[in-house]
Amino acid sequence: MRDTKMHLGVFLRGCGHHVSAWRHSSSRPDAPADFNHYLDVARMAESAKFDIVFLADSLQFDVHDMAAASRMAPIGTGGHFEPISLLSALAANTRKIGLVATASTTFYEPFTVARIFASMDLISRGRVGWNVVTSTSKLEAQNFGTQYLNHGDRYERAMEFCEVVKKLWTNWGPDAFPRDVERGIYFDPTALSIPNHKGKFFDVRGPVVTVPSPQGKPLMFVAGASEKAIELAAAHADAVFTAEPDKEKAKAFYKAVKDHATQFGRTGDMIKIMPGVMPIVGATMAEANDLYEELQNLVSPEVGRQALRLVIGTDLNDYPEDGPVPELEDIEGQQSRQKLFLRLARERNLTVKELYLEVAGARGHHVVIGTPSHVADVLVERFHDYACDGFNVMAPTLPGGFKRFADMVVPELQERGVFRRDYSASTLRGHFNPH
């Protein structure tokens, strides 16, 4: 039995994480463009004592198949909002819940990211985290007028990027701003260290002129499961967002990240592993299954194939729906996600249609269908078996699918003693390290 509590995040994504959520009878198709939609979910999560609200991002609009694209809500998990802007508004309208937004290390610059997130951390009084990602698409490179980087170069740049940001976040000591009116001293020059970073990718003098927040500096999240992503997480992450539906493989990933941390002078307990989970919750098992089938039945072949192409990086339009998934070469994009789906296809002998229906639901994350008690059973088992330190909840529909989880599953987790009943801290760092 673990003596720590489970960590929970809510992953905000438009009308929900199912690719057809926007078409469901419980959804408002225009919700992704309404700030109050996101605020309602964030406040719902805060009321349920969640650790974080999580905002992902995509720096492209994929028009490879315009006819298919026109039938699906944008595959970009911040809805129609840029995530840092949305986070800023949420920070002003929440009190305790952590706020994590994505910024790319491939196309942004360390000084800009450090300054923006340090400012957001101060605005929120210490509740901000940065989700570190590398951009995987040539379309994204075209939007920034720059060259596309291969997988290895993207992660090498990301590793140095994180080093620079950390230096900029810690260039002021904790008591650097005495603001002594009597002596006329606003800041202490001896408490300032100029980073003067010079590396392969970046030449950054610094400093960032932002007062440290109550938690000192924002937390870092890393998304991904490739070998390079594991190395990045082991070196820099406070938490990791990943996809792994198989429990034994999730346990192996958990151990790999924690063990690898020692190579960077860190300990495994410094990093929280929070895989995505899509809970389909019903008062009965039959109701839960019916809810899932309602969403699956809304997936057209065009949308299913488009969704599949976005995660495996290859168009399978020339292959029959009822035929097997072909062998594919490695891509330069989301390598871990492509390998996950191809492995699922082989292990389960899936057809092209069966595979795109897997993608349509949770894009490779663990789907749990059942009653509140059953869903809690599955989550608690994975938590106690050290397959994770918590979960990023990817509700199939928003707000309805998340409300079911918050109202029905969270009380089960609290009753079993694995999740908090109230916040014991006011900062995100405090939520993740309550001791």
Question: Per-residue pLDDT for 340 more than 90?
Answer: no
Q: How far apart are CA 413 and CA 425, in angstroms?
A: 20
> Alpha-carbon dihedral of residues 399, 386, 264, 128, nearest 10 degrees?
20
Tell me if 195 sits within 8 A of 164, measured CB to CB: yes
Q: How far apart are CA 394 and CA 277, in angstroms?
A: 6
Q: How far apart are CA 39 and CA 43, in angstroms?
A: 6
DSSP category for residue 28: -
Tally Cβ neighbours within 10 Å of residue 60.
17
**H-run or E-run covering 11:** strand 7-12
Mean per-residue pLDDT, 387-414: 98
Question: Is 384 part of a structural domain of the chain?
Answer: yes
Question: Is 322 part of a structural domain of the chain?
Answer: no
In DSSP terms, which residues pair with 132 in a beta bridge? 103, 222
Cα–Cα nearest to 187, from 215, 216, 209: 209
**H-run or E-run covering 287:** helix 285-296
List all residues 6 or more positions away from 222 whose beta carbon is below 8 Å from its beta carbon. Answer: 131, 132, 229, 232, 233, 236, 237, 239, 240, 241
Question: Is 410 part of a structural domain of the chain?
Answer: yes
Tell me if 171 sits within 8 A of 207, measured CB to CB: yes
pTM of the model: 0.91
Domain count, the chain: 1
Tally Cβ neighbours within 10 Å of residue 318.
6
Residue 77's pLDDT is what? 41
Q: Is the dihedral of CA 120, 237, 270, 262 positive or negative?
A: negative
Mean per-residue pLDDT, 322-338: 67
Q: First-to-last CA distance in the chain?
A: 18
Tens digits of residue pLDDT in 122-168:
999 999 999 999 987 777 777 887 777 888 899 999 999 999 999 99
CATH number at residue 256: 3.20.20.30
Mean pLDDT score across all residues of the chain: 90
Residue 76's pLDDT is what? 43
Tell me if 257 sits within 8 A of 238, measured CB to CB: no
Question: Is 319 part of a structural domain of the chain?
Answer: no
Residue, of 56 and 340, whose pLDDT is higher: 56
Question: Per-residue pLDDT for 289 more than 60?
Answer: yes
| 3-class DSSP assignment, residue 90 | helix
Question: Is 131 part of a structural domain of the chain?
Answer: yes
Question: Is 74 part of a structural domain of the chain?
Answer: yes
Q: The tokens of 52 are what?
A: 């974080």
Question: Is 42 part of a structural domain of the chain?
Answer: yes
Q: Is the dihedral of CA 206, 208, 213, 217 positive or negative?
A: negative
Mean per-residue pLDDT, 341-357: 81
Containing domain of residue 37, as a range? 7-278+367-432
Q: How far apart are CA 409 and CA 135, in angstroms?
A: 34
Strand boundaries in 189-236, DSSP class E = 197-198, 203-204, 219-223
Strand 197-198 and strand 203-204: the pairing is antiparallel
Question: Is 206 part of a structural domain of the chain?
Answer: yes
